[in-house]
Amino acid sequence: MEGWRSGYSSVERVLRHYSRKVRSEKTRENFCVTLMQFCRFCRLSPDELVALSPEDASSLCQDFTDHLRDKGYSIRYVNVSQAYLRTFFRLNGFKGDMELRVERYHQPSRYRKKAEYIPTAEEIYRMGYASGSAKNRAIIFMLYTSGLRNSTLRAVRIGDVREELERGLTAVKIPVYPEMKEVDPAACKGNIPYYTFISPETVKALREYLEERKRRFGELRDEEPLFCSDSNQVPREKQRFTPVSKNGLERMVKRAAKQAGIEKWRNVTAHSLRKAFELALRNNRLDPEDREFLMGHILPGTQDPYYDYTKTEELRKKYMEIRFFPQSAANMEEIRKKQILDMMKLLCFPEDRIKRVEEALAKYETVDEAIEEIRKLSLEGYRIKENANGDPKKIVSEEELKRYLAEGWDFISVLPSGRILIGKST
pLDDT digits (tens, 9 = 90+) for 39-97: 999 999 999 999 999 999 999 999 999 999 998 888 888 999 999 999 999 999 999 88
Cα–Cα distance, 248 to 228 (Å, whole number): 11
Q: What is the pLDDT of residue 395?
A: 73
Looking at residue 400, what is its pLDDT?
72
Instruction: Return the pLDDT at 335.
Output: 73
CA 3, 6, 12, 15: dihedral to nearest 10 degrees?
-40
Confidence at residue 156, expressed as pLDDT on a 0 to 100 scale: 97
pLDDT in tens, 392-418: 677 777 667 767 777 777 766 655 555
Residue 22, sorted as left (phi over 0), alpha (psi -120 to 50) or beta, turns out to be: beta
Percent of the chain with pLDDT strictly greater than 70 = 86
Which of helix, strand or coil describes residue 222?
Answer: coil
pLDDT less than 70: residues of the chain = 1-3, 22-23, 109-114, 298-302, 327-332, 346-347, 375-392, 398-399, 402, 411-419, 425-426
Calculate helix-pair angle for 134-146, 270-283, nearest 10 degrees.
50
The pLDDT value recorded for residue 419 is: 63
pLDDT one-digit tens code per residue, 235-275: 888 889 999 999 999 999 999 999 888 999 999 999 999 99
DSSP letters of 34-92?
HHHHHHHHHT--HHHHTTS-HHHHHHHHHHHHHHHHHTT--HHHHHHHHHHHHHHHHTT
CA 396 to each of CA 366, 377, 400, 419: distance values in angstroms, whole numbers, following the listed order: 26, 19, 6, 6
For the CA atoms of 411, 128, 332, 416, what is the dihedral angle to 10 degrees?
Answer: 40
Residue 383 C-beta-side C-alpha neighbours within 13 Å: 2
Residue 411 is predicted with a pLDDT of: 67
